[in-house]
Amino acid sequence: MIVAIDGPSGTGKSSTSRAVAEQMGLSYLDTGAQYRAMTWWMVHNGVDVSDPAAVAAVVDKPEIVSGTDPSAPTITVDGVDVSGPIRTPEVTAKVSAVSAVPEVRARITGLQRALAAAAAQGIVVEGRDIGTTVLPDADLKVFLTASPEARAARRSGELKGADVHTTREALIKRDAADSTRKASPLAKAGDAVEVDTTELTLLQVIECVVTLVEEKRAAK
């Protein structure tokens, strides 16, 4: 059972995906963490992330390993736990530029497909291009949306005191970058189920997706 959950930042993707994976006994993969890990490595090693050629030249160097246990997902780069460092504002500000480099997407997509293929019980994979590019044959595709205001409020809460207006502007800018990049843009797959989370609690979103998974399982 492969479940692809896509959507922009602040829609509840990560929390929903982890909870669904735990409830349904599936593995879990946060693909955004992999792109953040790649970005962290580039920054850490002094690579100019505004230069796509410089990024492409070293894309095969970092060893990125993702743990897929939904109760304790892990991410390491060259054996170092980077689950904290990849969430810094510096990485957040640069991840779109790194993610847009085709060679980066090819490398990370390969890792994602290998993890999905190795998940014996099935997996929930969350990101921005899972249903369209990474796993187009996923058993279930879900696309989460929410208003920019709702997303900004949630993200500001996560960032402890961040200004909601500034956060909203940053989210809109990130959406534009991710939706217009040439390599695997953020997009809803034609056969994805769209769930607008604006007026829903996290528990309601989780229940909705769990129901969709159960229906797919019953139909298999």
Which pLDDT tens digit goes with each residue over 62-109?
A: 999 999 999 999 999 999 999 999 999 899 999 989 999 999 999 999
CA 148 to mean position of chain CA atoms: 18
Q: Is the whole-model pTM more than 0.75?
A: yes
Using left for φ > 0, alpha for ψ between -120 and 50, and beta otherwise, residue 94 falls in alpha
- Other CB atoms within a 10 A radius of the CB of residue 53 amount to 9
The mean predicted confidence, pLDDT, of the chain is: 91
- Model pLDDT, residue 62: 98
Q: Give the dihedral sign, CA 69/75/77/81.
A: negative
Residue 35 to residue 42: CA distance in whole angstroms = 11
Place 160 in a pLDDT band, splitting at 50, 70 and 90. low
Residue 162 pLDDT > 70, yes or no?
A: no
Question: In sequence order, which residues have a C-beta less than 8 Å from that of residue 213 and are 6 or more positions away?
Answer: 1, 3, 20, 24, 140
- Model pLDDT, residue 159: 60
CB 33 within 8 A of CB 86: yes
Q: Give residue-wise pLDDT tens across range 112-122.
A: 999 999 999 99
Q: Give residue-wise pLDDT tens across range 16-36.
A: 999 999 999 999 999 999 999
- Residue % of the chain over a pLDDT of 90: 74
Residue 52 to residue 156: CA distance in whole angstroms = 30
CB 186 within 8 A of CB 178: yes
- Model pLDDT, residue 153: 79
